[in-house]
Amino acid sequence: MRLFAIISTAILATPAWSWGSEGHKITATIAQIHLLPSAREAVCSILKQNLTTCNLASVASWPDEIKKDKKLSDKWKWSFGLHFVNGVDDNPPKDCSFGTKGWTSPNNILTATVNMTRNIQPSSSVDRDISLRFLTHFLGDIHQPFHGAGLFKGANNIPVLYGDNKTNVHAVWDDFLILKRINLLTNYTSPLPTNLNLTLSPSVLALNRRIESALTGSNYDPLVRWIVLEGIYGWWGIEHQDWAICPQYKGRREISQLVLGFEPPFEDPTDLPVCPYYWATPTHEILCGFIWRPDFKGVEDMKDAEYTVQLNGTEYTGRIHDEKLVEKQLALGGIRLAGIINEVLATEEEKLEFGVLPSLSAS
């Protein structure tokens, strides 16, 4: 109970506008594990002020931190609307319209993700450090379901109970679900074996070393180990190999339309290995099909909130846990971020030898 009280105090202090700090850092760490060597070196050279770690997790929450810092918020105010995208007349779960009637603003996370990908290219003349920070963050945000729906401020204005805590739906997804998973995880709490061991295959040792080299001794380290070993190389072992693929990349726009089944309302670029609309669409479908409950009642002002809907310990959170929905969204963001960075920053030799997404086996 004390855990939830601490979490609640932190969450209720400000509205939640993205995955919490842990969620973003988990996504970034999963990406770090899957970077090709030359891409890791490039990341180190780009993140000038983070040379001590050269770790994407160290900058994953920066775009949220600057919003909360009064000394910096005015300078970066232009970026605040880039963390989400809202479809015109999108009214989940009754009438879901993910861009089919247009977008409420052209300046959104879809366009921003494309722009930041373009900006980290070696030929870019803009600040690649800042662009990589935003890209790392946006690949987390785009897989947070409530960043694709603007109704009631992305569910920030939908009051609910989580245990004894009065909070909102967005905050439950940002923080409560992740922090509860972190604190209840009883395995993978110790570092994985990385020394030569006759009982472990070379491939297992190699994967263990990749994982441990990306970890920073944080509270979420066990969950990263669990997601990578049990999820990416377990339940999602076959499908994850296609997660970073963009069907429109390198002029394959017709293939993209064929895969989607319609002319998309946002045109993913053919010259970059990023497809935010293609990636965000299934997340919005999950949001409309299950995550946004019919009994969620939003308010214009949280001062008028009535806390009658309980989420903790219910069929709703039970299904989220059983289907590993949060963990998979974090994994999707991490694998796709790694795919982008490897394609843009790794050497051609390494991409030919190992693939854009290196095949790390846990068997």
Domains for the chain: give ranges and CATH numbers: 2-354 (1.10.575.10)
Q: Give residue 12's pLDDT band: very low, low, confident or very high (50, 70, 90).
A: very low
Short-list 253, 238, 214, 249, CA closest to 334: 214
Do 55 and 214 meet the contact criterion of CB atoms below 8 Å apart? yes
Res 362 pLDDT > 60: no
Do 107 and 113 meet the contact criterion of CB atoms below 8 Å apart? no
Q: 266-275 burial by CB neighbour count: b if 16+ within 10 A, else e?
A: bebbeebbbb
Do 211 and 225 meet the contact criterion of CB atoms below 8 Å apart? yes
What's the pLDDT score for residue 251?
62
Do 72 and 53 meet the contact criterion of CB atoms below 8 Å apart? no
Do 41 and 201 meet the contact criterion of CB atoms below 8 Å apart? no
Look-up: residue for tokens 């409950």? 293
Q: Give residue 3's pLDDT band: very low, low, confident or very high (50, 70, 90).
A: very low
Instruction: Give kind and range of the element (H or E) at residue 43.
Output: helix 37-46
Q: Rounded to an integer, what distance in angstroms lies between the CA atom of residue 189 and that of residue 222? A: 5
Res 161 pLDDT > 70: yes
Model's pTM, two decimal places?
0.92
Do 207 and 362 meet the contact criterion of CB atoms below 8 Å apart? yes
DSSP 87: B
Higher pLDDT, 99 or 3: 99
Higher pLDDT, 272 or 13: 272
Q: What is the mean pLDDT of residues 21-39?
A: 98
Cα-trace Rg, the chain? 20
| C-alpha 299: how far from chain center | 27
Listed in sequence order, the residues at least 6 apart from 186 whose beta carbon sits closer than 8 Å to its beta carbon are: none
Higher pLDDT, 2 or 53: 53
- DSSP labels, 285-333: HHIIIIIS-TT----SSGGG-----B-TTSHHHHHHHHTTHHHHHHHHH
Q: Give me 43's structure tokens.
A: 């990341």
Q: Give residue 54's pLDDT band: very low, low, confident or very high (50, 70, 90).
A: confident
Look-up: residue for tokens 């051609």? 348
Do 148 and 84 meet the contact criterion of CB atoms below 8 Å apart? yes
Q: What are phi and psi of 139, to 5 degrees?
A: -70, -20
pLDDT, tens digit (0-9, with 9 covering 90-100), for 199-219:
899 999 999 999 999 999 999
Q: Rounded to an integer, what distance in angstroms lies between the CA atom of residue 212 and that of residue 224? A: 10
Q: Rounded to an integer, what distance in angstroms lies between the CA atom of residue 118 and that of residue 195? A: 39
Torsional sign, CA 121, 125, 126, 129: positive
Q: What is the mean pLDDT of the chain?
A: 91
